[in-house]
Amino acid sequence: MSDASYIPGTCNIGDGEISRRRMVALIGLILSLSAVATFITTGAARGARFGIFIPLLVMSVGWVQSRKKFCLAYGFAGTFNFGKLGELSRVADPADRAADRRTALVIFAQSALYATLLTLIVLALPL
């Protein structure tokens, strides 16, 4: 991948951080599939299936962040990282921090929407 740099409201993480977000998405997917398998094997009540929202949200947040190359937590905190994992830099310009916060809110809303839609699908399944 190319050598990226910080772009306010657009890109605040590099390759290492993107890989970390992909891992979070994978963990969320595994937890979600495990929950569905549990619902099937135990004959869980439809109301109990609402619990799948959390692992689906974890998966969605990780996936959206990796696709957008933007960490919502860093966006809220006014930081970015293109170096070694854990080596954060501060965003100095208030306008850039505001742009990052807006993007972080959009990412969270998008992730919550995906998790909600997937949860509704799981609720509709005839298990």
Contact 6, 74 (CB under 8 A): no
pLDDT surpasses 60 at 3: no
DSSP state of 90: E
**Alpha carbon distances (Å) from 72 to 10, 85, 106, 118:** 11, 16, 9, 21
> Tell me, what's the pLDDT at 34?
97
Q: For residue range 20-45, what is the model confidence (pLDDT) as tens digits?
A: 999 999 999 999 999 999 999 998 89
More reliable by pLDDT, 68 or 1 = 68
3-state SS assignment for residue 79: strand
Q: Which residues contact 127 (CB under 8 A, 6 or more apart)?
A: 39, 40, 43, 44, 49
> Tell me, what's the pLDDT at 127?
76
Q: How many alpha carbons fall within 13 Å on the CB side of residue 69?
A: 17
Helix 53-68 to helix 15-42 angle (10° resolution) is 160
Q: How many alpha carbons fall within 13 Å on the CB side of residue 57?
A: 10
pLDDT category, 50, cuts 50, 70, 90? very high
The arithmetic mean of pLDDT across residues 45-58, rounded, is: 95
3-state SS assignment for residue 3: coil
Domain residue spans of the chain: 15-124
